[in-house]
Amino acid sequence: MAAGYRTLPEEIKREIDSLDGAPFVFGAINRYSEAERRATVARLQLSDASDGAAQGIPPATVGRWSRWNLEGWTKVWRDRPKTQQSFTHEVPNYRGNGYHDVSWTRDVWDKSRWFGEQVEAQLTLHDDVPDVSIGIVQKAIQGPFESHREHEFRYLASLSREWFGQARLFRVGDEGIPDIPNDSLGWDPLPPGSIDQIREYVTSRYGSTLPAREIEIMIDRFESVESLRPEQRLIGSSGLHRYIGYKFGPDFVAFENARIGNALYVLRGGLGVTESTLSDGALD
């Protein structure tokens, strides 16, 4: 399973701000076979209930963020100037009975101590889609993102990534229940750059949830369509499917699903899906 984050990704910061202060939780949507789901429940040492939900505090053996969730974490700020700190110890007198204090000062790094919060994990079956499970880090938090609060967001996002392989944001509704996205198609614009830079970005962001072969298919498609000079390259998602797209104007996107053949589709007018498939293998 993926490790946590050294720094919080910029796209997560932007998504936090986009919620306008609404509470949310970090989590993931994964397609598990029954055997894979049982293995995940066992790895995280969750208590599996009869209603399909499993819940508990994952053990320290899952990873360092899980260990910090239980035991806390001391951060040494080596990027800050050292400060002077005084120390005093009681030592025996050189001659005779008794003790006396010896004091001294030295330069030390600043430290911050975060105590373990024992946040729980929950894994539930999707209500409508077979073999799909929803993983949730059971602590709601609110934006906006502020640099002095980065540790709060990074802590919960890293737990989600360590436990479930992803760190998605799910808005929490008025009844305290996370709002799991429907099957609407949403797009994630890729940053500009060379094909190698796009490969590095896609691998770092989606490598924990997509097979290496599927990532290479995506990169090959992006490279093939470069001669058409798209305005933007995109990755979209609908439910559990991942799409790659090419934007050619303010309301025109061609897209395809790299996993399910090579059919090419078109979105028009506010990026709504058109009714027809243009061709099979259109980019070959």
Domain co-membership, 203 together with 245: yes
Residue 43 phi/psi, 5° resolution?
Answer: -60, -40
Over the stretch 66-90, which tens digit does the pLDDT of each residue have?
999 999 878 787 888 988 888 898 8
Is residue 177 in a domain?
no
Greater confidence, 267 or 244? 244
Task: Kindly indicate the confidence band of residue 210, based on its pLDDT and cuts at 50, 70 and 90.
Answer: low
Residue 284 lies in a domain: no
* Residue 160 domain flag: yes
Residues 84 and 145 in one domain: no
The predicted pLDDT at position 70 comes to 94
Pair 259, 162 in one domain? no
**Residues 120 and 107 both lie in one domain:** no
Indicate if 57 and 122 belong to the same structural domain: yes
Between CA 18 and CA 34 the distance in angstroms is: 35
- Mean pLDDT within 44-60: 86
* Residues 28 and 39 both lie in one domain: yes
Q: Does 135 fall in a domain?
A: yes
Same domain, residue pair 144 and 41: yes
> Is the domain of 154 the same as that of 194?
no
The per-residue pLDDT for 120 is 96
Displacement of CA 149 from its chain's centroid (Å): 17
Domain end marker among 63, 88, 112? 112
Residue 178 lies in a domain: no
Is the domain of 53 the same as that of 129?
Answer: yes
Segments forming the whole domain that contains residue 251 = 186-279
47 and 153 within one domain:
yes
- This prediction has a pTM of 0.59
Measured between alpha carbons, how far apart are the two ends of the chain, in Å? 34
Judge whether 166 lies within some domain.
yes
Q: Are residues 141 and 205 in the same domain?
A: no
Query: Confidence band (pLDDT; 50, 70, 90) for 274?
Result: very low
Query: Tokens for 216?
Result: 């290479």
Do 139 and 92 share a structural domain? no
* Segments in 85-194 forming alpha helices (H): 150-164
The answer to whether residue 127 scores a pLDDT higher than 50 is yes
pLDDT of residue 231: 84
Say if 3 falls within a structural domain. no
Q: Which residue has the tokens 């737990």?
A: 159
Listed residue (25, 33, 18) closest to 163, CA to CA:
25
Written as one letter, the residue type at 235 is: I
Model confidence at 184, pLDDT cuts 50, 70, 90, reads very low
Band (pLDDT 50/70/90 cuts) for residue 137 is very high
253 vs 263: CA distance, rounded Å: 14
| Mean pLDDT, range 85-103, rounded to an integer | 85
Residues near 147 by beta carbon (within 8 Å), at least 6 away in sequence: none
Residue 142 has pLDDT above 90, yes or no: yes
Q: How many domains does the chain have?
A: 3
pLDDT surpassing 60 at residue 19: yes
Residue 208 lies in a domain: yes
| Residue 276 pLDDT | 32
